[in-house]
Structure 1
Amino acid sequence: MKKYASIAVFVLLVISCSTNPFTGKSTLNFQSNDQIFPTSFAQYDQFLKENKVITGTADAAAIKRVGQRIANAAERWFNANGYEGYLNDYRWEYNLVDDDAVNAWCMPGGKIVFYNGIMPICQGDTGIAVVMGHEVAHALADHGAQRMSAGTLQQLVGVAGSVALSKNPQTQQIFTQAYGIGSQVGVMLPFSRSHETEADAIGIRLMAIAGYNPEEAVRLWERMSAQGGEAPPEMLSTHPSSQTRIAKLKQLVPTAKEEAARYGVTSFQ
């Protein structure tokens, strides 16, 4: 059993490398679009059936308008960087849902939801573009599939370790407890925070290419931070702290403007 578990972990590591088009780096991902997109689309449709979708309002129209501009910017970026056809399987959809949660998300394949609660913080199209760019970036960089892959690997390593120590129950129990905490705090949470930072970096570039002022990203997160509420220490959170995020975004603004200029975009709304 120990032998087979070790082999399974090794095989997954060998076959699970894909390349992030934005960074050129290898990523852990053994979920193909053919596997994950149909499930994503079905779950999205089910979500819309179970929640109140807002239509016919200025905010609802803004979500679709900004979303399409961000999608077009992504298409331009991929085509210009040698990834023609990368988005062929995406089925972009943008919906505003009646919910007070200050949140938005994009499922694999381009299925996007904004909750009504985030609209006062967005304060218009440019703020929407900040959030839209960030959420779309998660999908474009396959962050959801990477998290699923990392979770599977985390479980397999845990099983392999537990099996290897099965002859010593006391040691096995210590390992199980230590591995659970250590892999979560030392691996999975930093992995999630790195995705958030990467989505910020990609998103601010996309919004700039789409013609939205990337400086608004800093202002939006300042407004978000001003909402208050207690947040866990950064090392115990899936997201960087607001202070870390704002500081990084300030550094990224000039780069985003430079990238937009390569596409002929030199003025922003």
Structure 2
Amino acid sequence: MKKSLIALLALTTVVAACSTSPTGRKQLLFHSSSQLDAMGTSSFEQMKKEQTISTDKKVNAFVQCVTDYITPNVNSKVHKGEWEVVVFDSNQINAFALPGGKIGVYTGILNVTENAGQLAAIIGHEVGHVIAQHSNERLSSSQLSQAALVVAGTTMAAKDVDNKTLLLAGLGLGLQYGVLMPYGRAHETEADIIGQELMAVSGFDPKESVKLWQNMAKQGGAAPPEFFSTHPSNQTRINGLNKHLSKTNPMYAQSNVKPNCVKPAIPKSK
């Protein structure tokens, strides 16, 4: 069992050492881009079958307009060809991007974004997850965590360790709050940074990303303490985005792109 654990740790070290995120963070990536693209495409097709798609031409045109300014600035290594954009008719305050060039926007989030710049912050953030291969990293880290629990359980059983169930439960909590959740918060922060840079070079004022999260904070609702959450607090995000403006304001000033996407009135979903 020790040999299995050593082999697992050795594999982790090799993979992590060979993979680096766009911000220079070491990553754990077990899957190929083609595998993730296939998963993303399959998931997106299933969502289109199960969820209501908006038929509002003005709303769709607005979301497509913003996306058309953002995606040309994404490296073709991330996705070759057109990005598919679908607006889902739902009051959910949400959006997402998937490997394989798929973007979903819920009409609910359009009631929070006041203008094209704030929607660009959302789309830039979601595409940032794809650029940084966060889906791959989360899947890989989850698989490694499960493998570690299996190895630990087998080792304890072989040694007849007392309170094995309690110890495994504690190990599971440790992985959840010590590894997987911080991974999630690191991903969100990284996507914020990548998204702000992406919107700036695409001609959208990066200060709108700060205003966006100020608007998000006003939505209310009880939020768990940051330690117990996969997402940073709104204020943490605002502070981080404000700090990064020192880099993105000059990028925006140097951009020759002048987006012309006008937000229409957003009807309430049924």
Return the TM-score normalized by structure 2.
Answer: 0.88
Residue 186 (str. 1) matches residue 203 (str. 2): no
Contact 1:9–1:156 (8 Å) recurs in 2 = no
Of the candidates 156, 159, 168, which is equivalent to residue 150 of structure 2?
159
Contact 1:126–1:213 (8 Å) recurs in 2 = yes
1:1-269 correspondence runs (5 A): 1=1, 3-15=3-15, 17-20=17-20, 22-75=22-75, 85-89=76-80, 92-166=83-157, 167-261=159-253, 263-264=255-256
Q: Structure 1 residues 55 and 268, CA, compared in 2 at 3 Å: closer, same or farther?
A: closer
Secondary structure at 2:195 match in 1? helix
How far residue 216 of structure 1 moved from its aligned partner, in angstroms, is: 0.7
Return the TM-score normalized by structure 1.
Answer: 0.88
Contact 2:79–2:100 (8 Å) recurs in 1 = no
Q: Which moved more, 1:117-126 or 1:191-200?
A: 117-126
Provide, for residues 22-43 of structure 1, a one-character-per-residue CA deviation record: whole Å limited to 9, x for no partner: 2244311111112121121122
Contact 1:132–1:203 (8 Å) recurs in 2 = yes
Could you tell me which runs of 5 or more consecutive residues in structure 1 were left unpaired when the two chains were aligned. Answer: 76-84
One-letter amino acid matched to 1:149: S
Percent of residue pairs bearing the same amino acid type: 34
Provide, for residues 118-151 of structure 1, a one-character-per-residue CA deviation record: whole Å limited to 9, x for no partner: 1111122111101000000001100011000000
- Which residue number corresponds to residue 79 of structure 1? none
Q: Which has the higher contact order (CA 8 A, sep 6+)?
A: 2
Q: Structure 1 residues 19 and 9, CA, compared in 2 at 3 Å: closer, same or farther?
A: closer
One-letter amino acid matched to 2:165: Q
Q: Structure 1 residues 54 and 204, CA, compared in 2 at 3 Å: closer, same or farther?
A: same
- Which residue number corresponds to residue 264 of structure 2? none
Q: Structure 1 residues 15 and 248, CA, compared in 2 at 3 Å: closer, same or farther?
A: closer
Length, aligned pairs only = 260
How far residue 89 of structure 1 moved from its aligned partner, in angstroms, is: 4.1
Q: Which moved more, 1:55-64 or 1:246-255?
A: 55-64
CA RMSD of aligned residues (A): 2.2
